[in-house]
Structures are given as structure tokens and as C-alpha cells.
Structure 1
Amino acid sequence: MQKRVQIQSRKAQTVYLPLAASSLTIHSRITSQSQSQNNIVKVVQKQLKVRNRSLKTRNQMQKEILSQTDSCTQKVSTERNLEIDSSIMEPSTTITNKQFQLVWQSPYRPHIYTINFPYPALLQQQRSQQFLVEQIKKPLFYKLQGQVPFKCVLNSFEAAGFERSDDDNWLLYWGLASKETLNEMKRYQKTNHFPGCWSVGRKDNLWIHLSKVKRRFPTEYSFIPNTYLLQYDFERFERIRECAPKKTLWIKKPVASARGNGIKLINKKSKLTADKRYLVMDYISNPHLINNFKYDLRVYVLITSTDPLRVYMYKDGLVRFATQEYSLKSSDIKKRFIHLTNFSVNKQSPNFIANNQDIGKQLKTSKWSHKEYKQQLMDQGINHKLLFKSIQDVVLKTCIAAEPLLLENRITQEHKNNYFELFGFDILIDEKLKPWLLEVNVSPSLNSSSELDAQIKTQLISDMLHLIGLEYHTKKAFRIQIKKKLYERNINDIQSINTRNFRQKVNQEDLDVMIQSLEEQLRLGQFKCLYPNKKNIFEYEQYFEYPRFHNKLIQKYFEDGSNWVI
């Protein structure tokens, strides 16, 4: 591609002169009203001479620039406490046949760009073009943990121009990364699991942390059934079982299993041992039924940061039905297709009906979308908005209770934004329309077993990858990253911060944390921000085990009416 020199005459005429792209750029503007056409001709001749000299030395200049860049890079990389991203250290050479791609430009930090994830073709919709700008196209890479990705993941990466790589030049690592990989991650790299995330997916660990908060707030945390860890609570449970009414039921689950494996109902006569691999929960025997079938809701929840805590809930999800009509007869206790709603269980039933046709018209299928479910509730005269507000409350309170689990397993505090996590919450609705938390799943299934699954999960993953903000580096914005110092902060200092002095009171790390929260809320897609949220941030403050500086800082920002000029 050739650069051009623009010369303007007194008549506002423009003359374009082609120059070699690697030559010195010459900008000559003749704006005086007294200049004649002869002067313009002289300047043109002078520019042509420069062009000819430039063409002769073009190759030599390129070699010199390349060698200077290489030597500079080698010198800087030997410095301590510096990180060099070699994939963005571009030589100052001519770029011909430029190709551009759209990236998301932050309105708060104009030098920061993040990867735009267009919706894959099967969704047949376009993402908002707001804040999208053109940048020179660069290779984008993701890495997998030796597994074949689900189609919804693969399609989302391909739509954004990503390629799979086995090297270390990736922007996103999909899978459970090793401790070594986590330690060596650069600031702009991300992985889809928090260190120690599996402890949240264990039913025993989650109950331990939920029960701590439940002891402080028994009414507010009454959304989880009473749970007994057989390793510790066996004798207490046996006393409770002995005194319970004759037809009382409980549900026995493995503490570290999923997809319905090892789950069964028990009654007063069932044999039980103090097996540390299992827990027992009160069975919700009065579920809300649709067409006389039991169901539960799969709710997708995204956490993009733990310090500060940032929680999002997806607006759509799945409704999973049992495949036999509900019954509490003693002869039906062992019938899994009546009492379990797990897809992995019910897909084996001869009564299972896949949702493979027009979404919204298949109300006899064994799996619905949340949109279909809400419409059904409306038809029954039920306020679905109030119900889902209660579900959001359950989700957020659970995330707050699990926050210490995620923080205590953090490997390094240096880069707080390297991780994100998608959870699958299983919620049961009882006949009084109260939501109950059954369990939280790490790595919820992304398998597209039907057209409904493909639609929901593809948009879910695309929106998630767009929201998390994978940084797209330019030479101007990021060449060398100096590692940040870690600061000890006093939460009491926040009270003295106000609209006028906050620039002096907070450091760059604090400012970045705030801006990242605001930026994410501009890339939501179909996600809804549960926290931090101006409407509820003060209400939920009481449920945190410990106050965190950055949580309190964002709270202060909202308290001051979001008037800080960031």
C-alpha cells in the first residue's frame, strides 16, 4: 500500500503524490494565498527526487530497522520484573495489503481494545456495533487442554477469527490449566477456570460455606435444603430420621459427582452408613408441576472476578423435565424417571422427547428454554418476573458464600483478571413458587444434543467470551508490561474518598478495577449483572464474610452517585 503526500493550492485543489511506503513521510502543505502554480510544480519535482532516493534505499532501511528492533527487544527482555509479549513486538516495516478486523474500544480507556466476538452464523443475528473500531488484523489463538471442544465453543472462536494453538501464544486457555501454566500467565491471558474451582462444585464444600452464612442469616439463606454430611452428621441425622413422620423422604447424593450418578431417594427404613463419600438432603416433596411432571431449572452464572466480586446471570437457560408423572407412592421411590430431572438420566427414558423443532411450540418436549417456561407461567397467571428475581437472589447469595473458597485457592494476586468461570446452578421450584438450590456445577454440559441446546449454548458462550474482555494488543497500547506492585490497603481510607479527591486517593490498580467493572457492563449481551449492581450493592454487603477493599471502593463509587470522572 502506498502512502500519499497531499498538497493544497489556494483554490483548494489537491495533488496526490505516491511515495514508497517505507520512505520518510513528507507532509507539505502550501496554504498561502500568494503562492502560484509554479511554486507547486517546484515542490512536486522536489518530492519526486525524494521518492527516487527512497526507492533505492528501501531494502537497506528495512534491514536496519529490523536489526535495531531485534537488538532492542533482546536488551529489554533481560531486565528483571519486565514481561515482553513477542507476538506484538512488530518491526516498523511496511504493511501492504492491510486487513482489518473490528475490535471493541473502551470508552474509558481509549488505548484498550478487546476482542469482538460476532455471533456464529447459526444464530442468525448481529451483535451491537457500538464501540467497535477497526484495527490491523493479527493472528488470534486459543489453547485446549487436550480435548475436543464442544461445537458451541468451537463455533464461537471461529466466528471471532481464532485458531487453535499448542504453543504459548494463546489469549485464552480452555480447560483445567496446570499450576505451572497459571503461574506463567501474562496479564492479558485468561483461562476459563479459577484455581480451586472444583471445591465449589463439591456438594460438601458448598454446604459448609453456605451453612456458615445460614447460621448468621437463617431466614435469608433458607433456600438450601437441610443437608447432612454422613461423615460428620451421621448420628445426628439418624436421630432426626427416627423422629420424622412415617412418609418423610430424603435424597442421598455423592459429594463429588454430577449428572445424576449415585443419587437415590431414601426413607425411614433405608439402610445407611457413615460413608464420607455421601451426603443426605431433605427431599422437596412438593415441587411445582407442569403437565403433572416435575422439573428443575438450569441457570447459567458467570463470575469474571473474585476481588472485586463480579457476578452475571444469563437471561436464558434450560428447563429439564422428569419423564414420568410425579408420584409419592412408596412403590415409586426407586423410579428415577419420576424423581430425578437430570438430562443424563432422563435421556435414557423411552418417554424422552428432544426439542428439535420450532422453539416455543414444543411444550410436550422434555427440555424447554426459559423463554418457553416464562410463557407457560404467564398462561397460568404466575408472575415470572417476581420468581426470577427470587432466583437471582439465590444465585448471588450463593456466590457471596462461595467467595472465600475461590479466594483462598488463588495462586497469585498479581493478575486478578486471568480467570473466569461459568457455573450451572440447578434450581427447583416448589408449589409455593419458592426457589431451592439443589447444587452448583463446575463445567456445566455444553453438549448440543438438540436444536434448542445449540441455540442457547452457542449464544451463551459467544456472549461470555465477548463479556470477559480478551485484550487485543496494539504496539501503541502495550509493548512492555511492568509488573505491578502489591499494595496493602486500609478499607477505612475509602470513607474519605469523594468526587473531588478520588484521583489522588486511588492508585492505577484501583482505577483499573473500577473501569473493568464498568466496561463489562457495556458488553453484557444476554447476561444480567447481579453484582456489583447499583440497586442492590448495599443490601448484599452484609452477607460477605470479610469486607474487601475493591468491593467497598465500587460501593463508594455508587454511593457518590457514579459522579467520579473516570
Structure 2
Amino acid sequence: MQRKFTGAFYQIIPETFVTGAKECKPFMAALASSSKALWILKPPNQCCGRGIKIISGGSDYTYEPDKRYVAQRYIMSPYLINGFKFDMRLYVLVTSFDPLRVYLFDNGLVRFCTHKYSTSTKDVANRFGHLTNYSVNKKNKAAFQSNQDAAADGEGSKWSYQALQAYFETQGLDPTAIHLDIAALIVKTLVCVESPLVASLNKQAKHVNACFELFGFDVLLDANLRPWLLEVNVFPSMSSSSPMDKRIKSILVCDTFQLVGVAAVDMGAGDLKKSTPKPRRSVKPNRQDSTESSVTAEDIETQWIQALEDEASRLGHFERIFPTPDTIKFLDFFEIPRPGNLVYAKHLQMKTTTPNQLDGGRPSKGMPNAAVSAKPTTRQRSFSRKFSHAKTASLSYNE
């Protein structure tokens, strides 16, 4: 991510390597560069803290060429509560990647370590002080505190995200600013992976509304309350280990299906790919011998905007974090400019200048320090001109 987008704007993930027989040199060089740094090694395709190691730069670590790890520089100064490290599991729903529509659930899980945080040599190997995984810390029988009351969600070894926000207020901190920073981190992450995911979906999806994805984002706050992305889970657990889990996840599942909205498809209408066409990147002029669907740009724009507004009426406990009137600043970071994203930016900007027209749902909280400019960039103007030429042409579709 930081190779793709330089500068502080995209410094949202700790330095990370994927190790293996052919990828060992960069990681070993980074490991040797600082004897004080700690690194966390996570085996791929594992969960519940299985196989995770923490090593120091000055340790006698022996590289294992037959084993692959995701090696991540350890955040040495996490924000602590009562001396304990914690991270957050936040739930992010993507209803469409092209155009991109992203929603953040208003609650989540805050998972605490059960041993006070220390980076001393004798404590580095103590998993209870460094790994926040519930499955790890529940084994610490002497210190683990299970949640037995859904209403008491700010006690024990697992809190709710809303309880954490309330705690920040008691400490004189600004939970809204922290939340907006986290939302920006989530959007940046999805923008970075949008291009390959859209390419894959175009090859595999049989219908434009055939899929959605609920992600589990694991986020850590450092001592300066700056959020860092630890990992993104494509199969976040929906099991309920406590009354609080059950309450949060029950609402999450219900609101997910409500927001997604299952569209009825006429299975007897023939090829599903033709029943709801989706624009490809390129726009081709109309030809008499073309077998492609002839749909105007206005038709496509109307479908995109209708989907956005329909979802805005079914938000439940979700909030839309992309697109919003403030996220026009992210458009230049997409690898491929997509017409739908530009249509959304113009649509939302127009609505912000029309006071009597509401946004069909929860108001956008916006992004921190996001100066909204109604003036598109050169790249956006160029793309807009190309897309506008399609208003009397046939569009090429690829599902």
C-alpha cells in the first residue's frame, strides 16, 4: 500500500513483509536494522492466534524457508487502558465495488490483553500481554473476565466499540475525531485493493447485484491515538461468546441483510449477464453489427444513483463512509477512474448545495481535514468528457 501511494496520507499499516523461501532478504535486512524493534509473525490462513510469534531485532531468530509468515513491525507504543493493550474489531460492509459503496457498522468489539503491557525482554514471550485474540486470553484463567451482561459492555476483557467511545469522552478525548480517522483508514484500504477486486468480480459475477462482502477490520490505536490497520478478515466470526457479542452480532447480521436488499431476479429472462448490464471501463461507439446492449449513459447513472439512495433508506446501524461529500479527495487515488464514482461525487456535491434535499439516511460525518472542492481535477475532467460522449453510444459490458 505504501509502495503504491507515497506520503503520510497512506501510512496506515505498519511495515509488513510476506516471508518465504524467495522473499526472506528484505525482511531479514529489516530485522537486522534495529535491535530494539519487535516483529510479529503471523502464519497465513490461521485464526485465533494460532502460530503467532513475537521476535526482536536482536534475537537469534533462525529463518525458516519452508514456512511462510506475514511479518509486521510491532507497534511499540499502543494506547493503553489501565495498563492493558487492546485492539478493535470493526465491521465494514461493501455492497458494490464498481461503483464503490462502503458502510461502517456503528458498533464493534474491543478486545483486551489480560496481562499488563510491557516490552521488557522477559515479557516479550508472554502472549497474554501482546496478543488481543479472545481465544488466546480466555486461557488466562487468573485474569480473564468474561462478559455476562449485554448492558455492561464497558467491563471485563471485551468491550463494545460504543463503550470505548464513551470511555474516551470520560478521558477528555474526542471520540468523533478518532472515529473519523478510523473511517478514513478503512476507505484508504479499500481504495488500494479496489482495482484487482473489480477485475476479479467482472470475470466471475453473473449479476451486478449478486454479491456483497462483510469484512472484519482489526485496528490498533497508538499512544497518539493514531489508528493502524493490523489485518482485514474476509470471514469475521459471527459466533457469540457472550451476551454482548450476541447483541452486537444479531443487530449486525439483521442490518446487513436489510441494507443489502435482495433484488428479485427473473430466472426465466435468459442470460443474467444481459438482464442487468454493467459498464466496462471502455466506451465504444455504436455500430450496426454490434451485439452489445444499447443503454444510454443516463440510464446507467440513474441506476447507480437509485442504488445509492435506496441503500441510504435502509442504513439501520450502518453509516456510509464512501461515497460522502468529503471523499472526493480519494478519487485521484483510484488506480482506474470509474464513471460511477465520479457520478456519485457530483451527485453528493449537488445535494450538499441544495438544503431542501435530504440525503435519504444518516447524515455523513465526513472525513477529518477534508476540504471539499467542487472543482474536479484534470484527471477527473478528462474522464468526465470521455464518459459524457457515451450518451448517444452503446456501452460495452463485462460481468
Q: Which amino acid aligns with 1:317?
A: G
Picking from 28, 32, 37, the partner of 1:238 is 28
- Structure 2 CA distance for partners of 1:492 and 1:345, relative to 1, 3 Å: farther
State the partner residue of 1:447.
239
Matched residue SS, 2:122: helix
State the partner residue of 2:147.
355
Shift of 1:472: 5.7
Distance 1:226 1:278 in 2: 14
Matched residue SS, 2:319: strand
State the partner residue of 1:403.
194
State the partner residue of 2:118.
327
- Structure 2 CA distance for partners of 1:412 and 1:251, relative to 1, 3 Å: closer
Picking from 102, 105, 112, the partner of 1:311 is 102
Shift of 1:531: 0.9
Distance 1:458 1:344 in 2: 21
Matched residue SS, 1:331: coil
TM, length-normalised to structure 1: 0.56
Matched residue SS, 2:10: coil
> Pairwise mapping of residues 42-53 of structure 1 onto structure 2 (< 5 A)?
none
- Structure 2 CA distance for partners of 1:289 and 1:418, relative to 1, 3 Å: same
Matched residue SS, 1:540: helix
Matched residue SS, 1:317: strand
State the partner residue of 1:272.
63
- Structure 2 CA distance for partners of 1:265 and 1:308, relative to 1, 3 Å: same
> Pairwise mapping of residues 158-307 of structure 1 onto structure 2 (< 5 A)?
210-213=1-4, 216-231=5-20, 232-244=22-34, 246-267=35-56, 268-269=58-59, 270-275=61-66, 277-307=68-98
Q: Which amino acid aligns with 1:549?
A: P
Q: Which amino acid aligns with 2:27?
A: F
Alignment check: 8 A CA contact 2:2 2:11 kept: no
State the partner residue of 2:256.
464
Distance 1:442 1:358 in 2: 26
Distance 1:255 1:360 in 2: 35
Matched residue SS, 1:312: strand
> Deviations along 1:519-545, whole A, 9 cap, x unmatched?
101100010101111232x11112211
Shift of 1:361: 6.3
Alignment check: 8 A CA contact 1:294 1:326 kept: yes
- Structure 2 CA distance for partners of 1:488 and 1:253, relative to 1, 3 Å: closer
Alignment check: 8 A CA contact 1:321 1:366 kept: yes
Picking from 496, 514, 518, the partner of 2:309 is 518
- Structure 2 CA distance for partners of 1:491 and 1:344, relative to 1, 3 Å: farther
Picking from 421, 440, 445, the partner of 2:213 is 421
Aligned length: 336
Alignment check: 8 A CA contact 1:230 1:275 kept: no
Are 1:433 and 2:225 counterparts? yes
State the partner residue of 1:549.
339
Distance 1:535 1:551 in 2: 13
State the partner residue of 2:322.
531
- Structure 2 CA distance for partners of 1:372 and 1:413, relative to 1, 3 Å: closer
> Deviations along 1:252-298, whole A, 9 cap, x unmatched?
11133222111110112222234552121110011111111100000
- Structure 2 CA distance for partners of 1:472 and 1:330, relative to 1, 3 Å: same
Q: Which amino acid aligns with 1:407?
A: V
> Deviations along 1:70-108, whole A, 9 cap, x unmatched?
xxxxxxxxxxxxxxxxxxxxxxxxxxxxxxxxxxxxxxx
Alignment check: 8 A CA contact 1:355 1:362 kept: no
Distance 1:264 1:547 in 2: 40
- Structure 2 CA distance for partners of 1:438 and 1:488, relative to 1, 3 Å: closer
- Structure 2 CA distance for partners of 1:359 and 1:545, relative to 1, 3 Å: same
Q: Which amino acid aligns with 1:224?
A: I
Identical-residue share of aligned pairs (%): 35
- Structure 2 CA distance for partners of 1:539 and 1:240, relative to 1, 3 Å: same
Q: Which amino acid aligns with 2:73?
A: D
- Structure 2 CA distance for partners of 1:362 and 1:393, relative to 1, 3 Å: closer
Matched residue SS, 2:309: helix
Q: Which amino acid aligns with 1:544?
A: F
TM, length-normalised to structure 2: 0.78
Picking from 175, 179, 184, the partner of 1:388 is 179
> Deviations along 1:441-487, whole A, 9 cap, x unmatched?
011011111100010000011011100011368xxxx6964634565
- Which segments of 5 or more consecutive residues in structure 1 lack a partner in the other structure? 1-209, 494-503
Alignment check: 8 A CA contact 1:414 1:486 kept: no
Matched residue SS, 1:291: coil
- Which segments of 5 or more consecutive residues in structure 2 lack a partner in the other structure? 286-294, 358-399
Matched residue SS, 2:76: coil
Distance 1:506 1:371 in 2: 42
RMSD: 2.5
Shift of 1:233: 4.0
- Structure showing greater Rg: 1
